[in-house]
Amino acid sequence: MTQLKLTINETKTDIRRLPQERFDFLGYSFGRYYSSKTGQAYLCAQPSKKSVKRMIGKIREATERRMLGLRPEDVVKRLNRMLIGWANDFSLGPVRKAYRAIDHYAAPRLRRRLCNKHKVSNTGARDFPYEHLYGNLGLVQLQPSAHNLPSAKA
């Protein structure tokens, strides 16, 4: 490192032992995971919980009450751009759980925003069903696209 004229920041540097420990780096969590089908252990990277929470925070900001003046189509366009960009960044490894968490947050949050905009007092499931959100408004659903992703081979 001295030949490259680089110094190591001791407070940020940590040594981890794989497969016993996991670590987060660049939005991914690296470590040992277990297959839900076979129960076999394997090493891989998947989107970290922190990156999923950060994306959920961005969805929350895009659907806040102060954004009620925007047309639903514009909100969905903005959400889709964020969702597709996040999915492109975090498409390595087993992503199904992360995609499911984001999908299960984005659609109800958009529905709640539509209820607030149109002054619907109930949950809005009848007025704004998932078919309307995904079909008519064109909200992107990440989960079905997860099976089309390439899997990393060691």
Q: Domain locations in the chain?
A: 49-148
CA–CA dist 12, 22 (Å, integer) = 16
Residue 152: predicted pLDDT: 58
- 49-62 helix and 72-89 helix, angle to the nearest 10 degrees: 170
Task: Give 56-65 pLDDT, tens digit per residue.
Answer: 999 999 999 8
Q: Rounded to whole angstroms, how far apart are CA atoms 108 and 130?
A: 9
Q: How far apart are CA 14 and CA 98, in angstroms?
A: 26
- Confidence bin at 149 (pLDDT 50/70/90): low
Instruction: Give the tokens for residue 49.
Output: 């919980």
Tell me what pLDDT residue 106 has.
Answer: 95
Return d(Cα 1, Cα 97) in angstroms, integer.
38
pLDDT the model gives residue 37:
86
Q: How confident is the model at residue 148 (pLDDT cuts 50, 70, 90)?
A: low
Alpha-carbon distance of 104 to 83, in angstroms, equals: 13
Is pLDDT of 81 > 90? yes
Record the pTM. 0.81
Is it the case that residue 25 has pLDDT exceeding 70?
A: yes
pLDDT, mean of residues 70-76? 92
The pLDDT of residue 150 is: 55
Tell me the pLDDT tens digit for each residue of 83-113.
999 999 998 888 989 999 999 999 999 999 9
Q: Tell me how crowded residue 134 is: count the other CB atoms within 10 A of its CB.
A: 16
CA distances from 118 to 41, 70, 128 (A): 49, 12, 11
Residue 135 has pLDDT above 80, yes or no: yes
Q: What is the pLDDT of residue 56?
A: 97
